[in-house]
Structure 1
Amino acid sequence: MGYKSDIEIAREAKKKPIQEIGDKLGIPHEHLLPYGHDKAKVSQDYINSVQGNKDGKLILVTAINPTPAGEGKTTTTVGLGDGLNRIGKKAMVCIREASLGPNFGMKGGAAGGGYAQVVPMEDMNLHFTGDFHAITSAHSLLAAMIDNHIYWGNELEIDIRRVVWRRVVDMNDRALRQITASLGGVSNGFPRETGYDITVASEVMAILCLATDLKDLQRRLGDMIVAYRRDKSPVFARDIKADGAMTVLLKDAMQPNLVQTLENNPAFVHGGPFANIAHGCNSVMATSTALKLSDYVVTEAGFGADLGAEKFMNIKCRKAGLAPSVIVVVATVRAMKMNGGVAKADLGPENVEAVRKGCPNLGRHIENMKGFGVPVVVAINHFVHDTDAEVEAVKAYVRELGSEAIVSRHWELGSEGAVDLATRVAEVADGDSANFSPIYPDDMPLFEKIETIAKRIYRADEVLADQKIRTQLKEWEAGGYGNLPICMAKTQYSFTTDPTRRGAPTGFGVPVREVRLSAGAGFVVVICGEVMTMPGLPSVPSAENIRLNDAGEIEGLS
């Protein structure tokens, strides 16, 4: 039996004009700023006007550690949103925007899959409404203004060896990870080492996703540390006088983007920090606005629950005053087999024993999520080759942990395949059994916060950090940054910092390579192991297969 590709399904979608999607949420047409016929930004005035509305229930979708077999977290998020609408609930989906670099690399798009997608798929995976370009431009403006300030006399006495503001581009380009800038003589400035990160790793992206309004955005941008003087005192973006112009560039990017699912249900797609090197959640603006407009909001956090969900709870919810009513952990039979030691090429035949062997990875994520005081439902994202015995093995394992696993066939059947999952998730959300709290308090010392995450979420024995890193953390505490949460940057493929260690490993340490202060975003980035803030392209990048066909349509986007 042949299945249509995601892009073929998306292209056949019977989209409604975006004004009709706005009507479902009660948004007047004059408060939608259309980008074409099928996407629009919601005006700040309208967002301000609904702040008195009662909040709906927040549902977080997360997953086991990703495997090459694929888990389908976004697909499940979209399928669950459609499923809730199908059973008569007023529900909305909130997901992140796709980064260009991984689109042309190996990850593919970020709009769901099969019959559980958000459209327009091609636009969302390419330039969309220009938010990422605005972020890249704002970041680049600050970089240019720092070097310009140094060139014109350096009134702030910046130590050019201690400029910490790097540059960004939204492309996987390993050649730019470490560069020397300002070569070519006096007229080009003072040569110094710098480098590029990918746009989604920019602190500007994190700030856009955590800011509550334009005033908060400008304050946070101004708070960013861009360099240090010889006496190690910080120089802020507001000292460079860049915060006002950066806010102007980000004015429209701050407004959430309204689109629709294949079943014409409303979705916000806004912001997109990476989950392994940033905080991995869509914008606070989109999520908090959606909660004012619908009874249920289904959102996701990037990669496995050890990264995205941990940061969703400890950073986003803490900072924005949000609290999830239920957490959905996505798992697949195929991924359980891979965690049980089966190679990707051998996933086809039934192997109940391998499924059982792989389940402890799922079990650890369930326990971790319950540790935040929130009930957990497991969604088994169904693949066509899964056997009944394999599915039952996962269900039985989850039952032993006091949770429930529900098969969902949204990829194949759309909302019809997600009715069971939606019904149960709504019941749990309505049961008000959640008693959410982050796993560490604001006033815990920074290094102890790192240890708490490493030991409670990853189940590590210890955190390995040399004296220089510990001293740096103490200096930040003395400077008034001790109450900030931690943003762990580590591989997404394992609880450890070794991407090859699947399952639920024990007996390991977490090595901290570097710490970075994101004073504007309001967290400390802790870089562990070999994680990269600028990805590279694989030996055969997806870009080689992306082209326009004879009809002028895009081929090769996945």
Structure 2
Amino acid sequence: MAPTDIEIAQAHTLRPIAEIGAKLGLGPDDLEPYGKYKAKIAPHVWERVRGAPDGHLILVTAITPTPAGEGKTTVTIGLGDALSQLGERTAICLREPSLGPVFGVKGGAAGGGYSQVVPMEDINLHFTGDFHAVSAAHNLLAAALDNHLHHGNALGIDPRAITWKRTVDMNDRALRQIVVGLGGKSGGVPREDGFLITPASEVMATLCLASDLEDLRERLGRIVVAYTTAGKPVRAADLKVHGAMAALLRDAVKPNLVQTLGGTPAFVHGGPFGNIAHGTNAIIATRLALKLADYVVTEAGFGADLGAEKFVNIVSRVAGFRPVVAVIVATVRALKLHGGKKLEELTQEDLPALARGIANLEKHIENVTRVYGLPAVVAINRFQSDTGAELDLLEGRVRNLGVPVAVVDVWARGGAGALNLARQVVALAQRVQSLPAGKAADPKGDGRKVRPPEGAAEGPGLEDAYPDGFPGGLRFTYELDEPIKAKIEKVAKQVYGAGSVAYSAQAERSIRRLERHELGNLPVCMAKTQYSLSDQPELLGRPEGFTLTVRDVVPSAGAGFVVAITGEILTMPGLPREPAAERIDIDRTGRITGLF
């Protein structure tokens, strides 16, 4: 019987964190250790390296996944280890796992098999306390809001127009809608309230989009928590607690350094969800990694319609990041699901279903290369149930699209299972680097493609890649000065394939209010199901011409975007019938089992 993820991780001998830091030129004074194998990076490191040139940023995204996930984090880690094995100075940037998924459906979320970040028990559970700090800062603001109501409501807040909920990092459906302020006069002002899961907190998104502690403090002050009876926004700064919130986040703002099983340095920092928030790790961590490494591999939550879209339109705008290559993770099993195969039958060979499901992958390739303007390579993440005929069919179809492709086996082989992928990533990065000035980093773009110059570096499977010309540089899907509806509709039609967008009466009112209060010039963060290109999880494959329904549009002013809520997306998930928590245990020595 094959060992489990946690058994593989526990059998591994970890290297002291100082040794991992030294690979990036970090000395003992640059690290603030949390035990032997994890540390935070001291703020002075940024001041020392900020003038250094950036390394190559590799963005890992995926097709539309199944509920079990397609191994995007595992591929990210395996690719990082493979680049290290090729002799490249490499760092990986990942999000911190939320306790919700850890105890819910997926179990541990630190990679898998021989492509993991370690110590995996620490990373999956309390780690360095960042999630708890975010929860505390969020709930301090909630407590201050109710305290203000209790003591006379000098700001004139309308209790019916309070938008700030509480948060906890756990799947707990019973907390979605609650009533607070019960218990008589001393218990506060009774009102309806509710909880979000911590990765959906605006404080988490704000932490991950801040450039430093000072910027974080200012952003926290801009958070909108309610409206007055006159319709004026009430912000955290009005309640005078944004400084205290920042104090709670003083250590959480520092990047966390750990290692992979292959010894590659890994920054695991921040954890916004990709279907609710923007779905990428903290800008501070990625920015620092780019100064310390030649190749930085990061991932964006869920498919290229969610995390990658937000990386381009939100993160790249805020941080100035320009990925040189995107890796699209695909699996045979997920594509069979998109081709009509039942979830419980995905381990059975079905070439017709696979062929039909490839339409989903084609749309994600189009999004990355044509909409976002990034060169892409498809990584087929191999599962034990995949047959040779299925892998041959999928690999051949991708090659026929003119896109480089590699089958990876990183769960079983670690970095050695992604060496072909790593070589193709390096070759593509070199082609981007050799493009004429401006072509590889044009944020607006004109939709044209440019052919690679003569003598550009090639790699396995690249000789026929992009026969119609090389993608010409990062392109935003919309401009910030466009109306909110125009931004939503460009994402819906260009990225998702929608035919139209419908707005509820509440969404119409919210959009008018946002634009009236000068919040209409922010990027749009789409809250959408991860299981379909549409807002309807049952529409698999490549749906086209559907109507996307926007239920509401709410400000996330601290993070610096507005959130368009579509479909039946939930900001507080629930546990499944048999949660992963039932399999997790600990013995008298403190050894954890069953985490994944």
User: TM tier, shorter chain?
Assistant: over 0.9
| Displacement after TM superposition at 1:501 (Å) | 1.6
| Displacement after TM superposition at 1:384 (Å) | 2.4
* 1:79-110 deviation line (CA, Å, top 9, x unaligned): 00000000111111000000011211112222
Taking the aligned partners of 1:356 and 1:159, their CA distance within structure 2 comes to: 55
* 1:292-351 deviation line (CA, Å, top 9, x unaligned): 000010000011111111111111111111110000000011212121112233233332
Could you tell me which residue of structure 2 aligns to residue 430 of structure 1? 430
Could you tell me which residue of structure 1 aligns to residue 522 of structure 2? 484
1:204 aligns with 2:203: yes
Could you tell me which residue of structure 2 aligns to residue 411 of structure 1? 411
Matched letter for residue 151 of structure 2:
W
Kindly report which structure 2 residues correspond to 1:307-318, keeping only aligned pairs within 5 A, or say none: 307-318=306-317
Match of 1:463 among 484, 487, 501: 501
Matched letter for residue 459 of structure 1:
G
Higher mean alpha-carbon deviation, 130-139 vs 143-152, is at: 143-152
SS at 2:196 equivalent: strand
Could you tell me which residue of structure 2 aligns to residue 150 of structure 1? 149
Taking the aligned partners of 1:507 and 1:285, their CA distance within structure 2 comes to: 39
* 1:90-146 deviation line (CA, Å, top 9, x unaligned): 111000000011211112222110111100000000000000000000011111111
Could you tell me which residue of structure 1 aligns to residue 463 of structure 2? none
* 1:243-301 deviation line (CA, Å, top 9, x unaligned): 11001000100001000000111000000001111110000001111000000100000
Could you tell me which residue of structure 2 aligns to residue 496 of structure 1? 534
| Displacement after TM superposition at 1:229 (Å) | 0.7
Taking the aligned partners of 1:346 and 1:162, their CA distance within structure 2 comes to: 47
Could you tell me which residue of structure 1 aligns to residue 556 of structure 2? 518
Kindly report which structure 2 residues correspond to 1:135-284, keeping only aligned pairs within 5 A, or say none: 135-284=134-283
> 1:118, 1:259 within 8 Å by CA — same for their partners in 2?
yes
> 1:447, 1:470 within 8 Å by CA — same for their partners in 2?
no
* 1:201-234 deviation line (CA, Å, top 9, x unaligned): 0100000000000110001000001111110011
| Structure 1, unpaired ranges of 5+ | none
Taking the aligned partners of 1:348 and 1:61, their CA distance within structure 2 comes to: 25
Taking the aligned partners of 2:551 and 2:400, their CA distance within structure 1 comes to: 38
> 2:271, 2:280 within 8 Å by CA — same for their partners in 1?
yes
Taking the aligned partners of 1:112 and 1:545, their CA distance within structure 2 comes to: 18
Kindly report which structure 2 residues correspond to 1:378-417, keeping only aligned pairs within 5 A, or say none: 378-417=378-417
Matched letter for residue 506 of structure 1:
E
| Displacement after TM superposition at 1:158 (Å) | 1.3
Could you tell me which residue of structure 2 aligns to residue 322 of structure 1? 321
> 1:69, 1:335 within 8 Å by CA — same for their partners in 2?
no
Could you tell me which residue of structure 2 aligns to residue 17 of structure 1? 16
Higher mean alpha-carbon deviation, 255-264 vs 62-71, is at: 62-71
Could you tell me which residue of structure 1 aligns to residue 41 of structure 2? 42
> 1:281, 1:300 within 8 Å by CA — same for their partners in 2?
yes
Could you tell me which residue of structure 2 aligns to residue 289 of structure 1? 288
> 1:498, 1:529 within 8 Å by CA — same for their partners in 2?
yes
| Displacement after TM superposition at 1:475 (Å) | 2.8
Taking the aligned partners of 1:52 and 1:461, their CA distance within structure 2 comes to: 46
| Displacement after TM superposition at 1:457 (Å) | 0.8
> 1:488, 1:528 within 8 Å by CA — same for their partners in 2?
yes
Taking the aligned partners of 1:179 and 1:386, their CA distance within structure 2 comes to: 46
Higher mean alpha-carbon deviation, 474-483 vs 280-289, is at: 474-483
> 2:500, 2:545 within 8 Å by CA — same for their partners in 1?
no
Taking the aligned partners of 1:12 and 1:139, their CA distance within structure 2 comes to: 38
Q: How many residues align?
A: 557
> 2:60, 2:327 within 8 Å by CA — same for their partners in 1?
yes
Could you tell me which residue of structure 1 aligns to residue 481 of structure 2? 443
Could you tell me which residue of structure 2 aligns to residue 51 of structure 1? 50
SS at 1:25 equivalent: coil
Taking the aligned partners of 1:92 and 1:219, their CA distance within structure 2 comes to: 30
SS at 1:82 equivalent: helix
SS at 1:510 equivalent: strand
Could you tell me which residue of structure 1 aligns to residue 129 of structure 2? 130
Q: TM-score, normalised by structure 2?
A: 0.92
| Displacement after TM superposition at 1:46 (Å) | 1.1
| Displacement after TM superposition at 1:543 (Å) | 1.2
> 1:337, 1:354 within 8 Å by CA — same for their partners in 2?
yes
1:529 aligns with 2:567: yes
Taking the aligned partners of 1:467 and 1:536, their CA distance within structure 2 comes to: 28
SS at 1:453 equivalent: helix
| Displacement after TM superposition at 1:431 (Å) | 1.3
Taking the aligned partners of 2:265 and 2:506, their CA distance within structure 1 comes to: 49
Could you tell me which residue of structure 1 aligns to residue 72 of structure 2? 73
Match of 2:580 among 502, 526, 542: 542
| Displacement after TM superposition at 1:551 (Å) | 4.3
SS at 2:154 equivalent: coil
Higher mean alpha-carbon deviation, 213-222 vs 409-418, is at: 409-418
1:472 aligns with 2:480: no
Kindly report which structure 2 residues correspond to 1:99-138, keeping only aligned pairs within 5 A, or say none: 99-138=98-137
Taking the aligned partners of 1:184 and 1:466, their CA distance within structure 2 comes to: 36
Taking the aligned partners of 1:176 and 1:313, their CA distance within structure 2 comes to: 33
Taking the aligned partners of 2:194 and 2:588, their CA distance within structure 1 comes to: 40
Higher mean alpha-carbon deviation, 449-458 vs 504-513, is at: 504-513
> 2:67, 2:531 within 8 Å by CA — same for their partners in 1?
no
Q: TM-score, normalised by structure 1?
A: 0.98
Taking the aligned partners of 2:409 and 2:504, their CA distance within structure 1 comes to: 48
* 1:342-385 deviation line (CA, Å, top 9, x unaligned): 22332333322221111000000000011211101000011223
| Structure 2, unpaired ranges of 5+ | 441-472
| Displacement after TM superposition at 1:467 (Å) | 4.2
Matched letter for residue 230 of structure 1:
T
> 2:510, 2:554 within 8 Å by CA — same for their partners in 1?
no
> 2:523, 2:562 within 8 Å by CA — same for their partners in 1?
yes
Could you tell me which residue of structure 1 aligns to residue 458 of structure 2? none
Taking the aligned partners of 1:70 and 1:151, their CA distance within structure 2 comes to: 45
Higher mean alpha-carbon deviation, 469-478 vs 238-247, is at: 469-478
Matched letter for residue 353 of structure 1:
P
Distance 1:466 1:334, change over 3 A: closer
Distance 1:349 1:166, change over 3 A: closer
> 1:179, 1:195 within 8 Å by CA — same for their partners in 2?
yes
| Displacement after TM superposition at 1:552 (Å) | 2.9
Taking the aligned partners of 2:583 and 2:407, their CA distance within structure 1 comes to: 34
Matched letter for residue 393 of structure 2:
A
> 1:42, 1:257 within 8 Å by CA — same for their partners in 2?
yes
SS at 1:239 equivalent: helix
Taking the aligned partners of 1:165 and 1:348, their CA distance within structure 2 comes to: 44
Matched letter for residue 363 of structure 1:
E
Matched letter for residue 549 of structure 1:
D
Matched letter for residue 349 of structure 2:
E
